[in-house]
């Protein structure tokens, strides 16, 4: 909540003409690009792990003879169904 308030204040006070050079030049830009790339890699890794977990659960349900493993997966964890 504190971070959201800080970000909201930052965005309200941000002036493109005044602040862009500070945030989008030289080393500051390179740092932001590296941070974004690292975040993307972490997100991809998490997404892959979640898909693997989803498949493991589905296989376990199939092995146990569950009549409708996909419906059970949706019931247990609807977030899995939101994966791209």
CA 14, 18, 21, 22 dihedral sign is negative
**Residues 21-68: pLDDT tens digits?**
777 777 878 888 899 999 999 999 999 998 898 888 888 888 888 888
What would the DSSP string read from start to end of 35-80?
A: HHHHHHHHHHHHHHHHHHHHHHHHHHHHHTT-S-HHHHHHHH-GGG
Could you give the angle at which helices 69-76 and 26-63 cross, rounded to 10 degrees?
130
Taking the whole predicted model, whether its pTM rises above 0.95 is answered as no
The rounded radius of gyration (Å) of the Cα atoms in the chain is 21
Q: Which of 5-9, 71-75, 78-82 has the lowest mean pLDDT?
A: 78-82
Place of tokens 């590296």: 34
């Amino acid at each position: 909540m504190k971070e959201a308030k800080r970000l909201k204040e930052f965005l309200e006070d941000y002036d493109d003409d005044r602040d862009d050079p500070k945030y989008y030049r030289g080393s500051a830009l390179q740092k932001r690009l590296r941070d974004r790339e690292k975040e993307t890699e972490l997100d991809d890794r998490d997404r892959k792990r979640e898909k693997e977990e989803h498949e493991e659960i589905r296989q376990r349900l199939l092995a146990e003879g569950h009549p409708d493993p996909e419906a059970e997966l949706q019931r247990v964890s609807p977030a899995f169904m939101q994966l791209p």
